[in-house]
Amino acid sequence: MPSKKQLFLKIFHAAEKKYSKSTKRLAGESWEHDWQTLIATIYSAQSRDELTIPVMQETFKQLPTLKVYAAAPLSQIESLTKKINFYKTKSKNSKATAQKLLSEFNGKVPDTLEQLTTLPGVGRKTANLILSELHNKNSITVDTHVHRLSNVLGLVKTKTPHETELALQKIAPKKYWSQINRIFVLWGKEVRGRDKKKLLSRLK
């Protein structure tokens, strides 16, 4: 029986080979400004990237700077983002986050988990993504795809994304932590459900 670390490496390298060259953009990637990455990631929760990206592109055209976004009427932000799931809560949180970035962080996106999770609408998943995407820190971003695949493949046996994050930290070499989310999300988007054989067949 291979160890969990060996199993992870075997699966991860196969998935990396399949998906690392993909040009598909995820919602938390390739924004011009750091604050846009943060705001877009807040909106991406429980929303498809294919919808989130164009909606946020248009939103940032209308509200092009952090100061403008923070000062915008909540009704305007809601109107721009109403196609996204839970847009009212996300709009309220994103505006409050923009204001807090200006008032407490000099307009900069903080670079620690502790500071990031003080921002409205920012939990561990969003914070970890920001740490790896913007600050080049080793962190494991666990969304529904990472949580599902890790359990179905037998890498972990966990009930919550936080438990999955901690379990993966024990078996995944740190140099791969920041790559796990993108690879597993691209894989998970192709294969829904909890069929292990179907998941692994995509890697052949």
CATH of the domain at 12: 1.10.1670.10
Residues spanned by the domain of 63 = 34-135
Q: Each residue of 125-182: pLDDT tens digit?
A: 999 999 999 999 999 999 999 999 999 999 999 999 999 999 999 999 999 999 999 9
Look at residue 2 in the predicted model and tell me its pLDDT.
78
DSSP letter at 84 equals: S
Residues of the chain falling short of pLDDT 50: none
* Residue 29 forms part of a structural domain: no
* Residue of 24, 95, 108, 125 with catalytic role: 125
Can you say how many angstroms the Cα of residue 199 is from the centroid of all Cα atoms in its chain? 21
Helix (H) or strand (E) holding 186, with range, is helix 177-190
Q: Is 132 helix (H, G, I), strand (E, B) or coil?
A: helix
Q: Is the pTM of this model over 0.85?
A: yes
Exposure letters 95-117 (e unless 16+ CB within 10 A, then b) = bebbbbbbeebebebbeeeeebe
Look at residue 204 in the predicted model and tell me its pLDDT.
84
* Residue 153 forms part of a structural domain: yes
Please say which residue of 112, 135, 158 terminates a domain.
135
Residues 90 and 148 in one domain: no
Is 61 tagged catalytic?
no
